[in-house]
Chain A
C-alpha cells in the first residue's frame, strides 16, 4: 500500500464542498480516480478545484473544511 499526498498548489481557504448547502465532494474511505475533484481552494475571491492526482481510496483529509492553507500543505492522503 502506497500513501499519496494531495498538496495545495495555492494559498487560500480549503473547502470540501462546491457550495455551503451541497454535500462534500468526497468522504474519507471513498474511492477516487486521477482527475476527480476533491475540494476547492478560494484565493482572493476566486475558486480553483483541487484534483486528485492518484487512483485509490481517501485515507484522510488533513485539513478541515474552511481551514486556511498554504501552498505545499498536505490536504488529503490517498491510499492506492
Chain B
C-alpha cells in the first residue's frame, strides 16, 4: 500500500511542517480549515483546501464527521492529525480506519491503552520501565489508597486517570489532606473528562523533564535519543533541548533502552514520545506518560540525529518499514528550540493576537524557524498562541546558546507581542547557561526577573 494524498487535520505551524514532509514524499496534500483560518499559510501551501466549519475548534478541527467528509470528498487516502485536536483521540483513529483511510499514527487501541494514564503506567511496569512509586491502576477504596500514600511517603500527587493540562491534580501533604482532596480531584476530573478515576504518585521534589523519541513500524522499534524540557511555565514547555546535558552516557543508554522496550511491548507504529522525570540527586528516572503523536519539540531531535521524523511517520503509515536501524541512529552536537508565542511576557503572558507587520526571519548556519507567519497575516484569536519555533543547533550546548541569542536578535516581528524577549533573557541566565534547572525553576525566576522581559 502506498499513499498518494494526505489530509492534514490540524492548523498552524505543524500543518505547514506536515505539508512540507508530504510534498517531499511526493504526496498530494489537502488542508482542512475553519472559517477563521482561510488565510492561513497552510491553506495557501496545500494542493487543496476544504472549509470544515466555524472558528470554534469543537465545530471544526474537533468535528470527526466534518474531517472524514472532507477526506472522502477529496479522495484523501491518509489523515495526519498533527498534535493537539484529534491527535490522541482513539475514536477518531478508529473512525478513520473504519472509513478505509490510513491514520498516520498508532491504532485506536494503542492510543486508548497509552492515553489512559493508569493503564499506561501498568504497561510500563509490565515492560520493566520504572514508574514513579504510586498506586497500581485506579484507586477503588479511599481508605486503602490513604494507607498506600502513607507507605509511599507524603507529599503525594493525586491525579486523574483521564487527566491532562494539569486538571484533576492535587498534592496532599498528610493523610488528613489526602482524605479531603481526593474526592475533590475525582469530581473535578468527572466534570472535565467524564471519568472520575484517580491514581496516586509520589511527588519528586526536584526533577528534570526528560523524554525519549521513539519510532516503530509495528515490527521494529527504535529510539532517537532524548530531549530535555525542564523549563516550563504552568506545565507548558517553553524551551526544549537535545540531548540532555544532565545524563551520563550510561544513564542515557538505559533510559533510551527502556523506552524502546515499552514501544515494543505495545507493538508501536508511528512516532511517539515517552516522558520521564529524572531525579538528579539519585540518578533515577521514572516513566510518567506516553504521547502517541508527533510533538511540538520534534525538531531538536531531527537537528541532532538528521532523521526526518515526519517523513518516517508517513512512510510507516503507508506500510513501509523504518528507514533506519537502531545502530545507524547517532547524534551530533546540541540543539535548542524555543516557542515563539503571541503572548506578552511583560504582562503576565497575556495573549496578544494581531496583524503581522514587518517580518524578519533569522537565518544563517544552524538556524531553523518552523512557523505559520507572513507579513499582513491576521493571527486568529481562537486557537493556541504558538506562532512558530526557533530551533538552533551547534557543536556544543554553549555554542547553541550563543547561536540562539544571535538568532533571537535577528527575529523581527512587528505588530505583535511575543515571547522572544523571554528567550533572550533566559539565554543569559546563569542557571540556564550551567544547565542547573528543573521543572519548578522557571516560574520563580520569572517573578524575580520581570524587569528583563519587556521588548525594548
Q: Which chain A residues have a beta carbon within 8 Å of chain B's beta carbons?
A: 10-13, 21, 42-46, 66, 68
Contacts and interface: CB of A to CB of B under 8 A. Distances in A.
A33 to B, nearest CB: 26
B99 to A, nearest CB: 29
Contacts of B56: 13, 66, 68
Contacts of A68: 36, 54-56, 382
A13 B350 CA distance: 16
B273 to A, nearest CB: 22
Contact of A44 (B36, B191, B381): B381
A67 to B, nearest CB: 10
Contacts of B54: 68
B55 A45 contact: no
| Chain B residues touching A, range | 10 to 19
A43 B385 CA distance: 9
Interface in B15-55: 36, 54-55
Contacts of B383: 44-45
B81 interface: no
Nearest to B351: A44
B164 to A, nearest CB: 13
Contacts of B384: 44-45
Contacts of A45: 351, 383-385
Interface of B: 36, 54-56, 191, 342-343, 350-351, 353, 381-385
Contacts of A21: 191
A46 B348 CA distance: 12
Dominant SS among interface residues on chain B: loop
B353 A44 contact: yes
Contacts of B191: 21
B343 to A, nearest CB: 8
A42 B54 CA distance: 15
A10 B342 CA distance: 14
A10 B350 CA distance: 11
A6 B36 CA distance: 24
A13 B383 CA distance: 10
Contacts of A44: 342-343, 351, 353, 381-385
Contacts of B385: 44-45
Top-9 shortest CB links A-B: A44-B351, A11-B381, A44-B385, A12-B381, A43-B381, A43-B351, A68-B55, A45-B384, A46-B351
A69 to B, nearest CB: 9
Given A12-B382, A13-B382, A68-B36, A43 B353 contact: yes
Nearest to B378: A11
